[in-house]
Amino acid sequence: MPQRPVVIGVDSSTQSTKAAVVDAEDGTLLALGRAPHTVTGESGARETDPENWWGALALAVADALKQAAVPSAAVTGIAVAGQQHGLVALGADGRPLRPALLWNDTRSAPEAAALTTALGGPGAWLARTGSVPVAAMTAAKWQWLRAHEPATADRTAAVRLPHDFLTERLAGIAVTDPGDASGTCWYDTAHGAYDPELLALLGLDPAQLPAVAPSAATRAGSLTRTAADALGLPPGIAVAVGTGDNMAAAVGLGLGGAAGGDGLLDHPVVSLGTSGTVFAATRTRPASPGLSGFAAADGGYLPLGCTLNCTLAVDRIATLLGLDREDAAPGDGLVLLPYLDGERTPDLPHATGLLTGLRHSSTPRALLGAAYEGAVFTVLRALDELLTACGLDPADQAVRDRPLRLIGGGARGRAWTGTVRRLSGRPLVVPAATELVALGAAALAAAAVTGAAPVALARAWGTGEGETLPPVPRDEETWTRIAHVLDRAAPTLLS
């Protein structure tokens, strides 16, 4: 019996690479290979050698193919979804000049503020890019490199995002997509092109940047012989342009601004991972200084709010208390804002954690529960800002009655899920698929092979379907208590 075609979707995240071998016809996940990344840095620095990503990609693909027990000749396409915003500086030989500055490296906060002022304030940036520079954005990181390592900046022949770097290694072609490009703060989301004035402000030559393909599912080219030998795959298979991890997750969920409906009215998404993100696919271009006005992978827009401190921050609190991450109780009057790495939404890059309300009667379990509440509150407040920017009233009961899609590692945790239900008061849809970024990348790969629309493919595969959890009464008391503390403390947290 002939072997059915398969595709490989790659999720190159902050901590690891995952490679999903997927049946190209029905979307069945046949195997998932993994390989870790090494992240270094302290005092706000977060860096990884891009060669580590390439090595991890080879290991993850080999692991996945071994598990799937399918011949490599069955693979017809591959696509990479990568962590957003990272700055990869390449020399004239195409090799990294230094470790990549990652999205959660906050050293570039002063450069972000200076860029905002240089263009005339937040409104000017929103009009051009849909986003205001924050430390995470690639433009701020490039300015940091120019200021702190000018010799390296001067030697930089090419600037790439993490997924661009890997796609170029696969196909030998420098290309990116609108979704990931929109996270640089030098891409004009209204006109779908790099902004010449912003490039001049940043001292960037357009020749240093990859071309922007029409969509993430565009075929970038074919797998080169060198890459094929490194990965154990057939040379010449389709390589999709690929995209950023958030855009790929939206594809995996079957959400897309260009694919029937705006995607926002039914299921805005809350993702609980290393970072906490909220996003929704929409045809409109919302502009809010507290959000990133990203483009979607297949057309339309993907406005997003991101918090730096989510599962890792709460796990750190659990470790300090000597508790299992699930051994949490409601906060019982405690407020813990776990801003262990600064914060992005709200934009508090130099913030540290804040604890208040401690009493003799406070228990370790309540303290851990307060960490969950602080993290979830921050994510849900970002969701309220997103809804408002898209013309919806977060307090409207009809809006609250619409489900949230809950994804990411935290969606599998009892404490995380319970806290989101209690503080949101909304029904939750928890997709059965756990690797939505990799599955979204697989849909991009399949689309590059067949010419189909990737969101339509993901919908046909059913990767966004899952269990619906009914709403519970919203814990207004806890919500109000945390809001009061954050609003009162924000000016202090800025310093």
Q: Provide the pLDDT for residue 401.
A: 86
Q: Provide the pLDDT for residue 347.
A: 79
Q: Provide the pLDDT for residue 93.
A: 96
CA 73/CA 223 separation, integer angstroms: 13
Helices (H) and strands (E) in the chain, counts: 17, 24
Domains of the chain, each with CATH number or no CATH: 6-246 (3.30.420.40), 257-431+465-495 (3.30.420.40)
Q: How far is CA 91 from CA 86, 94, 153, 156, in A?
A: 16, 5, 10, 5
Look at residues 459, 403, 411, 413 and name the one whose alpha carbon lies nearest to residue 435. Answer: 411
Q: Provide the pLDDT for residue 398.
A: 85
Q: Are 458 and 221 in contact (CB under 8 A)?
A: no
Q: Does the active-site annotation cover 245? A: yes
The neighbour count for residue 290, using CB atoms within 10 Å, is: 19
pTM metric for this prediction: 0.89
Q: Are 15 and 35 in contact (CB under 8 A)?
A: no
Strands 404-407 and 428-431, by their bridges, are parallel
Average confidence (pLDDT) per 10 residues, the chain, 495 residues:
87 96 96 97 94 98 95 96 97 97 94 97 94 95 98 98 98 97 96 96 98 96 98 97 95 72 63 90 83 88 90 95 97 94 82 93 97 97 90 87 91 96 95 93 98 94 93 96 89 59
> Got the DSSP string for 307-349?
ES-SHHHHHHHHHHHT--TT-----TT-EEE--BTBBTTTTBT
Catalytic pick among 105, 180, 195, 245: 245
Over the Cα atoms of the chain, what is R_g? 22
Q: Residue 275 contacts by C-beta under 8 Å, 6 or more apart in sequence?
A: 103, 104, 306, 307, 308, 309, 310, 344
